[in-house]
Each structure stands twice: as structure tokens, then as C-alpha cells.
Amino acid sequence: MKNLTILILVFILIMGGASLLWINEKNPSSNTNLTNSGQEVVLSMKNYNYYPNIIEVEADKRVSITLDNSVRGCYRSFNIPELGVSKTSANSDDKIIFTPTKKGTFRFACSMGMGTGTIIVK
């Protein structure tokens, strides 16, 4: 009887662990909002939007944003109105460089506002 109880407990633990793993594996696939931390940011395009579309940077440090070659059309025109950033990047070597001086959460967008994302300045 005691052995059976232990077996059941072990079984419950294994199932619990397995479901946790399952949840963890589930998350990345739904993660189109992956956060890219750091001052060197590379953005590409996924599902008609910037990817990743949350950027975390530190204030008062130079930020370099590269739009890789999957980013096309007006998405190459990159704007963060609240930080005074507005630049059209011709290609992946033409980086968007700025130094955010105010902290906060701001929106970035292409020139027509189809592609959007969030930049968090800490």
C-alpha cells in the first residue's frame, strides 16, 4: 500500500514536470515579441513586422540598430518619434545610430506605421 502511494506520487511529479516542460516549449513558438537586449540590435522581418519587436537598451549609451536584408520597403524607414530618431537605412551596413537620453518605453515604427515595436530605455 505504501509502495503504491509512492508510485502514485512519483507519477504525479513526473507528469507535473512534463507539463512544465511542455509549457516552456510552447512559449518560444508564440514568441514573436522576443526581446533583444543590448546596444547592438539587429532587426529582421517576420509576419510583416519587425522581429524582435521589443528592444531593451540602456540610457546614455550609443545604440546601433541594423535592419537586416529581410527588412524591405518602407520598413527600412525607421522612426522613434519620441527619441527624435528618423532614418531610412539603405541596407544592412547603413546602421541607425543614436543615443537615447531619456528613460521610458517608446514606440518605434516604419514611416507608414505598419511595422511597429517597443523600445525600452532603462
- For residue 73, the SS3 value is helix
Separation CA 63–CA 107 (nearest Å): 15
Report, in Å, the least distance between residue 111 CB and Cu ion.
6
Report, in Å, the least distance between residue 105 CB and Cu ion.
21
Provide Rg for the chain, Cα atoms. 21
Is residue 59 near Cu ion by the rule CB under 5 A? no
Site string for Cu ion, 73-92 (x = CB under 5 A): -x------------------
| Residue placing its CB nearer to Cu ion in the complex, 53 or 121 | 53
Separation CA 50–CA 64 (nearest Å): 15
Is residue 114 near Cu ion by the rule CB under 5 A? yes
Report, in Å, the least distance between residue 77 CB and Cu ion.
7
User: Would you give the distance in Å from CA 29 to the centre of its chain?
Assistant: 13
